[in-house]
Amino acid sequence: MPSLSLNVNGQAESLQVPPDRLLVEVLRQDLGLTGTHVGCDTGQCGACTVLINGHAVKSCNVLALQMQGAEVTTIEGLGPPDGSLHVMQQAFKDCHGLQCGFCTPGMVLSAIDLVQNHPCESEADIRNGLDGNFCRCTGYQNIVRAVQQGAAAMKG
C-alpha cells in the first residue's frame, strides 16, 4: 500500500492507505477525527469540509493520496492550544448559528476560508460563499450573522 504523509491539525501523520481511500475516511477512521462529518457522499452538502493549505475542500471528493505533504485542518484543530474556541466557532455559538450541529464543522471551516480568502462584505457575499454548505435547521440568517461577527473578530 502507498504511504501518505501529511500534517493534520499541526501534527505530522504518516500512514499506509489504499489508492482509492478518501480523505474523509482517513480523517474519521484512521485518525479518529470524527468532527468531519459524512453527509451526502457526493460533495454537495459540505458536512465533510476541511481546510487544506488554508482553503475549504470537501474531503469526500478527494483521494487521500492527493494530499501528500498537505496541511489539513479539521474542526478539532481549529481552536487555540488553551482549549478555547476559535473566534468563528465562538461567533456561531454567540449568534445561535447552529441547531443540530451536523453541518456546523463544515460551515465554520468554510466561513473561515471565506473570510481569509474571499471578499465577504455583504450578506449576499456570505450567502454566495457558503452556497456549497447545506443546513436543514437554521434558515441561514443566524449563520450569516455568525460569519459577520466571526469576520469582524478575525480581522481584528
Report pLDDT digits (tens) over 73-91: 999 999 999 999 999 999 9
Give domain status of residue 142, yes or no: yes
Domain boundary residue, one of 76, 105, 139: 76
CATH number at residue 67: 3.10.20.30
Taken as a whole, the chain contains a residue count of 156
Give domain status of residue 131, yes or no: yes
Q: What is the pTM of this model?
A: 0.95
Which cell is 63 given? 483521494
HSE-up (13 A, CA, CB side) for residue 101:
6
Confidence of residue 138 (pLDDT cuts 50, 70, 90): confident
Give domain status of residue 81, yes or no: no
pLDDT at 37: 95
Which cell is 94 given? 454567540
Structure-model confidence comparison of residues 35 and 41, the more confident one: 35
Instruction: Please write the tens of the pLDDT for every residue from 40-49.
Output: 888 899 999 9
Domain boundary residue, one of 54, 76, 98: 76
Mean of pLDDT values over 92-117: 95
Asked whether residue 64 falls in the same domain as residue 114, the answer is no
Asked whether residue 51 falls in the same domain as residue 111, the answer is no
Residue 119 predicted with pLDDT over 80:
no
Which cell is 90 given? 465562538
Asked whether residue 93 falls in the same domain as residue 66, the answer is no
Asked whether residue 38 falls in the same domain as residue 102, the answer is no
- Strand-pair partners of 63: 22
Which cell is 78 given? 481549529
Residue 124 predicted with pLDDT over 90:
yes
Identify whether the C-beta of residue 100 lies closer than 8 Å to the C-beta of residue 107. no
Give the position of cell 473566534: 87
DSSP 131-145: TT---SSS-SHHHHH
Identify whether the C-beta of residue 75 lies closer than 8 Å to the C-beta of residue 10. no
Domain boundary residue, one of 36, 57, 76: 76
Give the position of cell 440568517: 141
Asked whether residue 66 falls in the same domain as residue 97, the answer is no
Residue 127 predicted with pLDDT over 80:
yes
pLDDT at 120: 79
Asked whether residue 70 falls in the same domain as residue 95, the answer is no
Find the domain containing 114 and state its range: 87-155
Give domain status of residue 50, yes or no: yes
Number of separate domains in the chain: 2
